[in-house]
Amino acid sequence: MWARAARRVLRAPGGGGRGFASKAGGGGVSAGGEAAPQERGRVPGDVIEHLERLALVDFGSREAVARLEKAVAFADRLRAVDTDGVQPMESVLEDRCLYLRPDNVVEGNCAEELLQNAHRVMEEYFVAPPGNITLPKLDEQELFSKS
Amino acid sequence: MAAPVLRWSCPARRWILANIDRGPRHGRGSPTGSRSSGKRGQSSVAQQPLATAQKPRKGEHQWAAVVGLEIHAQISSNSKLFSGSQVHFAAPPNSLVSFFDASLPGTLPVLNRRCVEAAVMTGLALNCHINKKSLFDRKHYFYADLPAGYQITQQRLPIAVKGSLAYSVFVGKNRNQVINKTVRIKQIQLEQDSGKSLHDDLRSQTLIDLNRAEGQLRVDANISVHHPGEPLGVRTEVKNLNSARFLAKAIDYEIQRQIEELENGGEILNETRSFDCKLGCTVPMRDKEGKQDYRFIPEPNLPPLLLYDSASLPAGADPQQVINIDQLREQLPELPRVTREKLVQQYGMLPEHSFTLLNEVGLLEFFQNVMKETRAEPKRVTSWVLNTFLGFLKQQNLAVSESPVTPSALAELLNLLDQKTISSAAAKKVFEELWRSGGKTPAQIVSEKRLELMQDQEALEELCQATMEKHPQVVMDLKKGNPRAINKLIGLVRKATLNRADPTVIKEMLERQLSS
């Protein structure tokens, strides 16, 4: 995998681990268009590994990681906006009314239908592996790496 | 899935002084006498020069334990928190599951009004501040009983915060000394429950039922230790606690374990542990993944939850779509603390009795029904209900609702006792018979077993005289001043009356006759 190469890359000045994206939020950016000089936001190897476990994605190549880095850099441009004294937005729905449903039973009772979707069932139970199967460790992966 | 759950966390402080090696309290100071760290215990004998130089012992620093409880309580509602599936115990697997509960693509959560009301009422009962605006978030992790890959919860801004609960602990030999304590409630939040997993080790698989998880009330404990004045220590989470007793044991064990580990130079891992009730110890549970990263994000499908009070209620709003905190506060039933205070004032009962009355389902109602129909003193009724009645229930592991003795029957029995128709001892016998044979009334049992007290005072006087004449040596003993002789006489008279006379009445009569 790409990971061996990625590890040798300069770490982002924001700090290692997961710290790269978590600069102090909120305001503090200088007014006017001039943002602080953007770091070349390289994503460290252990962060990639961490993301792959959390989201079960596979950054299969150096290009994919580069695309991730570009996406993060693109989003980072939001920091140029002065948000001093501005309440953060919760979601695009935040001005909508949250609908409250009355406490009546109106659905369910469709076990057969639901179980049809399952890969394996046993007597009306879904069947799953015995526990979480951990991803193979990075070192093992390198053995199988595609360059 | 998506059974509605209230989660509340209460941080509590506990201070303990842990001496691992329980040596003698005196005589431990450092030879130089200058080590007054202030963390040491009470006796500051460090100034004394010591005959024998002692090394400062390990385990003498004061430790403080911090314990937080995470309590998951299932809300009593007809349908689930985010879907219209039924909430019902012990239904066929996956029969109470809607498309949303199965996390099929395209389904959306729809918030149950009743669950919000329940959360607000819980917050009010626990003296919380109700957040007029609260938010829903997604907590991501992978497990087979969580098909969506995330749980909808309220992490950033829950529905209620900063509450408290006052409670009493009974200590002392007779458990009659009351210590009043308060615990802080950090927050109350609404969240989904996961499904239920059944582990099939034989076939190395897990069976998933998405109806709901087990247990209507679950507790996890978070425990850490530190030296007072220093930052908090690393905490561990202990799960699999099935009773209050195990909760206490697990916490005690874990505190000791952490202290010993740290005193021996080890470190505490931020991990999840399980309580092994057979061994009485905690063991690591999950494999060493380190701290879980739940990647909290706002739930994009649910706008903020807005609550109102009478002042802020928008005019002309659909009452089905708004929740008024003030209205819910008025609908709160009388809280136990208030009920207990009323009992103490109205009936003059001891506080610990009021606790017992309220801690057993249906017992208070039973007591009040007896009180309605009897002329007996409240103290006597309390004693009979809490000792005799409750004792019988516990012995046979019955609930109040399953009692063979009705409040009316007990009331009638207590009336007979009050009128001195029967003696105390006879009353107990009647009660036993009432318990055994549900149908008869106390009056019937009394007449069947001939348990009435002798009403004829003259006949009793004659019997006393006769007994004393028959046993002159006992009378002599009594006149000589032997205190036990009177009891013997009373016993003899009682026998003669076939146990139908009150011992205290007999005693009075005998003493009167003797003195005349």
Tell me the per-residue pLDDT of B207-234, one tens digit each, with 9 for 90 and over.
999 998 676 888 999 999 999 999 999 9
Tell me if A9 is assigned to some domain: no
Tell me if A71 is assigned to some domain: yes
Task: Measure CB to CB from residue B85 to each of A56, A100, A107 and give the nearest one.
Answer: A107
Average pLDDT over residues B122-151: 95
Nearest to B150 by CA among B115, B109, B119: B109
The amino acid present at B251, given as its one-letter code, is: I
Percent of chain B with pLDDT over 90: 55
User: Where does the pLDDT of residue B287 fall: very low under 50, low under 70, confident under 90, or very high at 90 and above?
Assistant: low
Average pLDDT over residues B396-400: 92
Report yes or no: B124 and B325 within 8 Å, Cβ to Cβ.
yes
CB pair distance less than 8 Å for A126 and B144? yes
User: Where does the pLDDT of residue B11 fall: very low under 50, low under 70, confident under 90, or very high at 90 and above?
Assistant: low
Report yes or no: B128 and B161 within 8 Å, Cβ to Cβ.
yes
Tell me if A140 is assigned to some domain: no
Query: CB contacts < 8 Å between A and B, how many?
Result: 142
Report yes or no: B320 and A102 within 8 Å, Cβ to Cβ.
yes
Interface test with B, best of A18, A22, A91, A137 (most B CBs within 10 A): A91
Average pLDDT over residues B132-138: 96
Say if residue B54's pLDDT is above 60.
no
User: Where does the pLDDT of residue B60 fall: very low under 50, low under 70, confident under 90, or very high at 90 and above?
Assistant: low
Domain that holds residue A65: 39-78
DSSP class of A124: T
pLDDT score, position A147: 40
* B4-16/B150-153 β-pairing: unpaired
- Three-class secondary structure of residue B348 per DSSP: coil
Compute the residue count for chain A: 147
Give B65-110 pLDDT, tens digit per residue: 999 999 999 999 999 999 999 999 889 999 999 999 999 999 999 9
- Three-class secondary structure of residue A76 per DSSP: helix
Cα–Cα distance between B18 and B16 in angstroms, integer?
A: 6
Report yes or no: B300 at the A interface, CB cutoff 8 Å: yes
Tell me if A87 is assigned to some domain: no
Quickly list H helices, B264-347: 325-331, 336-347
CB pair distance less than 8 Å for B94 and A50? no
Tell me if A63 is assigned to some domain: yes
What ipTM does the predicted assembly reach?
0.71
Tokens of B56: 């400062």
Residue B318, Cβ neighbours under 10 Å: how many? 9
Report yes or no: B226 and B232 within 8 Å, Cβ to Cβ.
yes
pLDDT score, position B227: 94
Angle between helices B336-347 and B351-359 (to 10 degrees): 130
Closest approach of chain B CAs to the CA of A92, in angstroms? 8
- Total structural domains in chain A? 1
Say if residue A133's pLDDT is above 70.
yes
Interior/surface letters B295-308, b for 16+ CB within 10 angstroms, e for the rest: eeebbeebbbbebb
The CB-side HSE value for B255 (13 A sphere, CA atoms) comes to 25
Cα–Cα distance between B421 and B418 in angstroms, integer?
A: 8
DSSP class of A20: G
Which residues of chain A have a CB within 8 Å of the CB of B85? 105, 107-108
Tokens of B219: 């507790």
The amino acid present at B394, given as its one-letter code, is: K
Which residues of chain A have a CB within 8 Å of the CB of B83? 107-108
Interface test with A, best of B87, B97, B323 (most A CBs within 10 A): B97
Report yes or no: B510 and B486 within 8 Å, Cβ to Cβ.
yes
Compute the residue count for chain B: 516
Roughly how many angstroms between the first and final C-alpha of chain A, as a whole number?
6
Nearest to B29 by CA among B17, B19, B40: B40
3-state secondary structure B232-288: CCCCEEEEEECCHHHHHHHHHHHHHHHHHHHHCCCCCCCCEEEEECCCCEEEECCCC
Cα–Cα distance between A41 and A21 in angstroms, integer?
A: 9
Tell me if A17 is assigned to some domain: no
Tell me if A70 is assigned to some domain: yes
Report yes or no: A88 and A94 within 8 Å, Cβ to Cβ.
no
Give B331-363 pLDDT, tens digit per residue: 999 999 899 999 999 999 988 899 999 989 999
Closest approach of chain B CAs to the CA of A46, in angstroms? 14
Average pLDDT, chain A: 73
pLDDT score, position B298: 93
Cα–Cα distance between B167 and B179 in angstroms, integer?
A: 8
Could you give the C-alpha distances from B383 to A87, B353, B367, B390, in angstroms and in order? 61, 9, 10, 10
Cα–Cα distance between B513 and A120 in angstroms, integer?
A: 92
Which residues of chain B have a CB within 8 Å of the CB of A22? none
Cα–Cα distance between B469 and B467 in angstroms, integer?
A: 5
Closest approach of chain A CAs to the CA of B79, in angstroms? 5
Say if residue B489's pLDDT is above 50.
yes
Tell me if A119 is assigned to some domain: no
* Of B79-83, B277-281, B385-389, the least confident: B277-281
pLDDT score, position A40: 64
Could you give the C-alpha distances from B31 to A126, B23, B49, in angstroms and in order? 69, 17, 7
